[in-house]
A and B are shown apart, each in its own frame.
Chain A
């Protein structure tokens, strides 16, 4: 087996036993990127020299016994919407195509403190708006399982990089499913933590009340290790939860006896692809066999989750993206007649179609005369969705279901039909709306040899139960061992 194929915990063991050095591992990953990224297109920026330099430094630290983190010397990737000091951070937009942040996001600071090696910044849908990574100004990322298909989105670059062994693990962000759906499409483990568990400081905002950073990894153990590194209270983020965070690796227990699991009827009814449904129900059977108590229940107003999500997220986005005006940084139109024209030209040329669509939708939803009918209504739906989950969690420890209605679709297949694309998020948005943690783990392959992901939804700040159930599932199945051939 090649070094780039190993998980973080496997590499960490080798590093600690001094069987291999951080530089060697980093080179292995960089060479892999060199070899396959022209086909996959996971990265917008690869920081080759920087990565090797950092690996040298960390290697020294490891030899001197100064690097204690299990992630020390592990090369990883970061979605291009998290600010990295001195490294281009584009959000896959022309608008920020020249933006080099003067500061690090909190997650990057935390990962640096763990001595991880940053390989580069991954491709995504522009400003994280999309479910296929087709809305990138720079390139299209391909699904490593089938290069004619999308990797999902918006964290498609991060998911593809992990699946194609171009990064040991990666960070993504999830506003309505942007970690979980690409994890499902690419056959990796993805975790969207509870809102407030991971600092958003330095994450370029899409929808502030929904955005959350989380890991994409080859297995559940790596996911827990990454969570240990990035979760925690941050005084720079007012919405960050000030509490004691657990050691997530303590949840890696192969035992789910007595765990109560609910399966929402609405998630396995109309609209779901047959093979996906079959794999999910088989996974539920596996969980039952391993000792969990599983039953179906009804999660009301699921049908309103998508409209509520698109109103809230677009409203916030319309305000969050207003700062890209060509005045201070980023793209500025070359030709303009006056201030208003500078704004118009810059924003017309700097943003892609999907971003403009959401800005217009959000602006409309917040406009006087429409606010009550749209934005306020959406907030009311939000409250109801939260209540629905509260009720579910009074009975169950965990809610389990599909991640997306289908497996990875063909590039261009849904690009011209935004509504159909929006339905990709039907099983994921409620989790963001309710601020809950959601974990996706591979649970099967369809007839086209494309991965299917099982979604586990937990109580707020109960990532531990998600990890425990996922770990148990993983220990008793082989789906996570599948790797695409590129």
Chain B
């Protein structure tokens, strides 16, 4: 039987406000344990929360950028459960009146666009972190992340494959980065997802029983978890069993999920309205002001790349998948007359080098203008494409400008006929067989000879000129 996978993601993104959601502590990542906290975020007796207005603004930006309706009235609620990383033993979240609801984003897989619904976006506070101490005498807790603002973006179960799940996460990340509300660094945990997944026979209307996998924090683990969990559920059904509604923990190292707790064991969070906070009442004009201040979003930018620069859809999609990358491209294009060439360099050599070096776009050691200038040097014929690749590699090593590297290393194209005549002579003398082949009409032989000449000049010769000189010499004799 053929099965359809049904996936809905709950994505948590840390907001990049300077201070925490209910106190004035910094949200900065990293910091020595328990130094970014105060009586409020560590839940001392008697303290009270005060909502950081920036958090509301950022969440509203996220809501508007994902086509949500912004609630003019919303409230905050307490989600009660015991855990040492949660100092108040409740998390302040939003239960029945979230800030944003009924939105959507468009994703692209295999060249097809699909609209994925967003049920709601609400604000809440992050918890601390448990650490097992080095001497194994117990567990330590770090409250630095406690009270860092989060938005939870609850998606509709509209996704049908691991690829779609990945595309959805990538699009969300790119949107949140474009509007500047989250840096979405998955390795730092500032973007993570819970995966709700069920399977059903193709054609069946009712949804199958779903399981939930919590806190997946890389694209790779999301894809793997979706694939493995779908297969597990299908196997379960095929072998005559049933899928149990439960929460499962994805073990990325072992590549499988294990049951955490069943529906019966699920927490009763005893949500109730947070009495220490007042309802959030938003002014329509204020919301419209935020809407007007939203920057160009990834979809719009992608369309612009296709329209203005004639880039292929695929390339435009990749370029706009990350704000830093897209900004890098925009920056370079501003200083170049050949957007397509700039795009090709980014899509090709730049991505390859980043991957090889395990670097992020933000760590590129030179400004985007250098890439524009490198493209310019090729266009002017100052260096060849081959040499340009070497120069580009060197730019990554030294951060120096392309002209400087070309000059320092003497990489300019040699287009002096006098200097090249000797090289041509030498190549012809050393390869009599090829010369004979050429004369017999084998055009291929010319290519070989050009290659030899380029090698002789370490790639610096103007290939056009070499070609011409070789032909002339052989045709003459």
Contacts and interface: CB of A to CB of B under 8 A. Distances in A.
Interface of A: 81-83, 89, 91, 96, 99, 101-103, 105, 200-205, 207-209, 235-239, 315-316, 318-319, 322-325, 327-329, 339, 343, 363, 366-368, 371, 375
B87 A323 contact: yes
A363 B270 CA distance: 8
A396 B276 CA distance: 31
Contact of B80 (A202, A207, A319): A319
Contacts of A209: 275
A94 to B, nearest CB: 14
12 contacts: A89-B45, A101-B39, A101-B45, A103-B44, A201-B46, A203-B46, A238-B278, A319-B78, A319-B89, A323-B89, A339-B84, A366-B271
B3 interface: no
Interface in B353-370: none
Interface string B38-49: 010011111111
3 nearest A-B pairs in the assembled complex, by CB-CB distance: A322-B89, A208-B275, A366-B270
Contacts of A367: 268, 270
B44 A329 contact: yes
Given A83-B45, A201-B47, A204-B46, A239 B276 contact: yes
Nearest to A339: B84
B324 interface: no
B325 interface: no
Given A238-B278, A319-B90, A343 B44 contact: no
A82 B49 CA distance: 17
Nearest to A202: B46
A371 B270 CA distance: 8
Interface in B96-132: none
B88 A322 contact: yes
Given A200-B48, A367-B268, A208 B276 contact: yes
A329 B48 CA distance: 17
A105 to B, nearest CB: 6
A205 B46 contact: yes
A237 B270 CA distance: 24
B309 interface: no
B29 interface: no
Contact of A325 (B42, B89, B278): B89
B167 interface: no
A105 B45 contact: no
Contacts of B90: 319, 322
Contacts of B47: 201-202
B51 A319 contact: no
A343 B82 contact: yes
B42 A328 contact: yes
Contact of B270 (A208, A236, A239, A368): A368
A339 B46 CA distance: 25
Contact of B84 (A96, A235, A327): A327
Contacts of A328: 42-43, 87
B45 A99 contact: yes
Contacts of A343: 82
A281 B44 CA distance: 46
B194 to A, nearest CB: 20
Interface size bucket, B side? 20 to 34
B80 A237 contact: no
A209 B78 CA distance: 14
B237 interface: no
Given A238-B51, A327-B84, A343-B82, A375 B45 contact: no
B244 interface: no
B277 interface: yes
Contacts of A371: 270, 272
Interface of B: 39, 42-51, 78, 80, 82, 84, 87-90, 141, 268, 270-272, 275-278
Contacts of A368: 268, 270
Nearest to A315: B272
B11 to A, nearest CB: 25
Contacts of A315: 272
Nearest to B274: A208
Contact of B50 (A96, A203, A235, A325): A235
Contact of A319 (B45, B272, B278): B272
A204 B45 contact: yes
B50 A105 contact: no
Nearest to B266: A368
A199 to B, nearest CB: 9
A328 B44 CA distance: 9
Nearest to A91: B45
Given A322-B82, A368-B268, A238 B45 contact: no
Contacts of A83: 44-46
Given A239-B278, A322-B89, A327-B84, A201 B48 contact: yes
Contacts of B45: 83, 89, 91, 96, 99, 101, 204-205, 323-324, 329
B82 A82 contact: no
Contact of B39 (A102, A324, A325, A339): A102
Most chain B CB inside 10 Å of its own CB: which residue of A208, A363, A367: A208
B272 A323 contact: no
Given A203-B46, A367-B270, A238 B277 contact: yes
A372 to B, nearest CB: 12
A209 B50 CA distance: 15
Contacts of B82: 322, 325, 343
B140 to A, nearest CB: 11
A102 B44 contact: yes
B38 to A, nearest CB: 9
A82 B45 CA distance: 9
Given A238-B49, A325-B82, 20 more contacts: A89-B46, A91-B45, A101-B45, A101-B46, A102-B44, A105-B46, A202-B46, A204-B46, A205-B45, A209-B275, A236-B50, A316-B275, A319-B80, A322-B90, A323-B87, A328-B87, A329-B44, A343-B82, A367-B268, A368-B268
Nearest to B76: A238
A459 to B, nearest CB: 21
Nearest to A205: B46
Contacts of A327: 84, 87, 141
Contacts of B46: 81-83, 89, 101, 105, 201-205
Of listed B39, B50, B276, residue having the most chain A CB within 10 A: B276
Contacts of A99: 45
A101 B40 CA distance: 12
Contacts of B275: 207-209, 239, 316
A471 to B, nearest CB: 32
A177 B49 CA distance: 26
Nearest to A199: B48
B50 A238 contact: yes
B388 to A, nearest CB: 59
A204 B43 CA distance: 11
Contacts of B78: 319
A235 B22 CA distance: 12
B146 to A, nearest CB: 11
A64 to B, nearest CB: 34
Contacts of A239: 275-278
A371 B78 CA distance: 14
A345 to B, nearest CB: 13
A405 B42 CA distance: 42
B48 A237 contact: yes
A184 to B, nearest CB: 27
A386 B270 CA distance: 26
B178 to A, nearest CB: 32
Contacts of B277: 238-239
A87 to B, nearest CB: 13
Contacts of B89: 319, 322-323, 325
